[in-house]
Chains A and B, each alone.
Chain A
Amino acid sequence: MANNNKWARILVYAVLIYAVIYYLLPLYVMITTSVKTTEEIRTGNLLSLPMHITLDAWRKAWGTACTGVQCTGLSLYFWNSVRMVFPAVIISTTMGAINGYILSKWKFYGSEIVFAMLMYGLYIPFQVLLLPMAQTEGYLGIAGTTPGLIFVHVVCGIASTTLFFRNYYVGIPDELINAARLDGAGFWRIFFRVVLPMSLPIVMVTFIWQFTQIWNDFLFGLVFSSGDSQPITVGLNNMANTSTSVKEYNVDMAGAIIAALPTIFVYVVAGKYFVRGLAAGAVKG
């Protein structure tokens, strides 16, 4: 019996470790490939370790790789993404916090309908919005600009940020709000002095969720940006799919890692909040 159990546990560990390798292998391949020369890629194989570590591919991916017609590397796109992601995240998170506060603590006749409307908005395939949004941005003169992209991300992000905050604030007892009302505090004072100081966890969750969503977005970046406002995902895809005579997989991999670094960093530093965000996102479906 005990022996049996021991073998069972060894088997469990074996499977788990096998899975660890399965999930890590692509990362290993990406990293090793990115420090190889094109020559070595051709002679070696996926798993072979690099013989001479070189950062040429990284330099090229960052500074000189061709993404379509221009050959300026990913740096431009990277900074585009940075310029886009922070305003979009901050605006959508702020609006979500206030909306969630109203929809949980200041309900009014019709507020449930607004909530249902936002909820359904979460599930709409964005394809339905692309054509009208492209037209509208044209009229507004923000087509193909970073502000235009920020606007799209905010519009499409409000629903999830509102839902996150609303679900969190539902857990704050109404008595606390009532106590503050009796203490003479009004709408904003209750929000800033009582509710917001309690919101650090959900602010973190929402911020990180929005950050990964917006940083990783490709569809909106592709449709609503052009030339000098395109985000990193579009840059990476252009680079990897540029038909040049020789496919430089080392540069592609270096570029992929560059594109992944910010979200990986967030995941490593604040993984707890990242997972909570995923779970909260799952509640919404």
Chain B
Amino acid sequence: MIQSTRPAQYGFAERWLPRLVLAPSFLLSLVFIYGFVVWNGYLSFTASSLLPRYEWVGFHQYARLFANDRWWVAVFNLFKFGVLFIGISMLVGIFLAILLDQKIRFEGFIRTVYLYPMALSFIVTGTAWKWMLNPGLGLEKLMHDWGWTSFTFDWLVNPDMSIYTVVIAAIWQSSGFVMALFLAGLRGIDDSIIKAAQIDGATLPRIYWKIILPAMRPVFFSTLMILAHIAIKSFDLVVALTGGGPGFSSDVPATYMYAMAFTRGEMGLGSASAMMMLLSVSAVIVPYLYSELRRGSR
């Protein structure tokens, strides 16, 4: 069934050229992606510390990882960050998309403004928000100047709250992107369905709730996937905004892995944490990809 579109190929050139030309990419990804995954997996079962030491220690590194408080802080931070970041970005994005879909004047301009943070590096975003959320001179001072003298905002230096500053900045950066995806989805909906519902006497909110949003399930799903992907890979923003601190209170697995592998000389621990990241991503992605590819090939 998959082969049906494969063209007949004649002669040496037609038969081998495509394979030959694809070969470098294939080899690059085979060696430098898949080979490295295996290599990293192997490292995680060795006693490597500052330098790779290929001495098999079984699950020792994983046992150390699971016994490590800092790792669990990172995992729970990712969980908090992921849920809040994805949830709020989705809500804000969908809400703005619906509002923008009401035949708004200057829509192009507004859209451009909502989306520009997505063009920025997380490092830029982090640097900017670090300044704005600065406990001494930033938001707190602004509120004091405006007369709210009891206002305090110390999340950036408060170990219990520092991860939420990352959430704030990440939402600012990515919610416009969610808006753009949903707006495109809304524009793809057949107008006549909405007209038919209006003739049936449905109110606008009801039409959105009952007809349009259910039709956006694929958009919802793919947005969820990409936001989750951003969340799991999040590294830059944390580094730029909090540096994982205070202490390691705002660590996430990505920063944990970097710290272990490159600054603390715990290569085995670092590779084990990377494997844990890979496994959790794969648990979601493999079934998703499988269904996508099967659907894609019809």
Looking across the interface, which residue of chain A has its beta carbon closest to that of B270? A131
The distance from the CB of B286 to the nearest CB of chain A, in whole angstroms, is 8
| 8 Å CB interface, B113-135 against A | 113-132, 134
| 8 Å CB interface, A103-117 against B | 103, 105-109, 111-112, 114, 116-117
B29 touches A159 (CB 8 A): yes
Stretch at the interface among B59-67, B82-90, B99-107, B189-197: B99-107
> Ordered nearest first, which 4 A-B pairs have the shortest CB separation?
A216-B121, A285-B225, A106-B18, A267-B119
* Additional pairs, 13, CB under 8 Å, beyond known A45-B145, A106-B18: A12-B102, A19-B114, A29-B131, A48-B145, A95-B25, A114-B25, A123-B282, A127-B253, A131-B270, A186-B13, A217-B121, A218-B121, A260-B120
Whether a CB of chain A sits under 8 angstroms from the CB of B14 is: yes
A23: chain B residues within 8 A (beta carbon): 113-114, 116-117, 172, 176
Q: Tell me whether A107 and B26 are in contact in the complex, defined as CB-CB below 8 angstroms, given that A45-B141, A278-B180 are known contacts.
A: no
Main secondary structure of the interface of B (DSSP, over half): helix
Stretch at the interface among A63-71, A193-201, A251-259: A251-259
Whether a CB of chain B sits under 8 angstroms from the CB of A129 is: yes
Q: Tell me whether A240 and B127 are in contact in the complex, defined as CB-CB below 8 angstroms, given that A24-B113, A117-B34, A130-B261 are known contacts.
A: yes
The distance from the CB of B79 to the nearest CB of chain A, in whole angstroms, is 16
B270: chain A residues within 8 A (beta carbon): 131
| 8 Å CB interface, A216-248 against B | 216-219, 222-223, 233, 236-237, 240-241
Whether a CB of chain B sits under 8 angstroms from the CB of A54 is: no
B119 touches A129 (CB 8 A): no
The distance from the CB of B186 to the nearest CB of chain A, in whole angstroms, is 13
B233 touches A126 (CB 8 A): yes
Whether a CB of chain A sits under 8 angstroms from the CB of B271 is: yes
* Pairs across A and B, CB under 8 Å, 10 listed: A45-B141, A103-B22, A117-B29, A123-B282, A127-B278, A132-B40, A187-B21, A218-B240, A222-B239, A271-B112
B246: chain A residues within 8 A (beta carbon): none
Whether a CB of chain A sits under 8 angstroms from the CB of B91 is: no
B100: chain A residues within 8 A (beta carbon): 16
Q: Tell me whether A20 and B113 are in contact in the complex, defined as CB-CB below 8 angstroms, given that A123-B281, A236-B127 are known contacts.
A: yes
A237 touches B239 (CB 8 A): yes
A131 touches B127 (CB 8 A): no
Stretch at the interface among B4-12, B156-164, B207-215: B4-12
A118: chain B residues within 8 A (beta carbon): 25, 29
B110: chain A residues within 8 A (beta carbon): 16, 19-20
| Neighbour of A16 across the interface among B104, B121, B223, B240, CB < 8 A | B104
B288: chain A residues within 8 A (beta carbon): 285
A282 touches B226 (CB 8 A): yes
Residues of B within 8 A of A (CB): 2-3, 5-7, 9, 13-15, 17-19, 21-22, 24-26, 28-30, 32-37, 39-40, 43, 52, 96, 99-100, 102, 104, 110, 112-132, 134, 137-139, 141-142, 145, 172, 176-177, 180-181, 184, 222-223, 225-226, 229, 232-233, 235-236, 239-240, 243, 253-254, 257-258, 261-262, 267, 270-271, 273-275, 277-278, 281-282, 285-286, 288-289, 293, 297
B223 touches A133 (CB 8 A): no
Complex Cα gap A103–B29 (Å): 15
Whether a CB of chain B sits under 8 angstroms from the CB of A145 is: no
- Which residue of A33, A103, A131, A155 has the most chain B CB atoms within 10 A of its CB atom? A131
A48: chain B residues within 8 A (beta carbon): 145
A146: chain B residues within 8 A (beta carbon): none
B102 touches A278 (CB 8 A): no
The distance from the CB of B268 to the nearest CB of chain A, in whole angstroms, is 10
A9: chain B residues within 8 A (beta carbon): 102
| Neighbour of A30 across the interface among B14, B128, B177, CB < 8 A | B128
Q: Tell me whether A108 and B19 are in contact in the complex, defined as CB-CB below 8 angstroms, given that A99-B25, A240-B130, A249-B134 are known contacts.
A: yes
B104 touches A119 (CB 8 A): no
Complex Cα gap A283–B184 (Å): 13
Per-position 1/0 for A14-36, Cβ under 8 A of B: 01100110111011011001000
- Which residue of B25, B257, B270 has the most chain A CB atoms within 10 A of its CB atom? B25
A132: chain B residues within 8 A (beta carbon): 35-36, 39-40, 43
A102: chain B residues within 8 A (beta carbon): 18, 21-22
| Neighbour of B222 across the interface among A103, A159, A274, A285, CB < 8 A | A285
B21: chain A residues within 8 A (beta carbon): 98, 102, 187
A51: chain B residues within 8 A (beta carbon): none
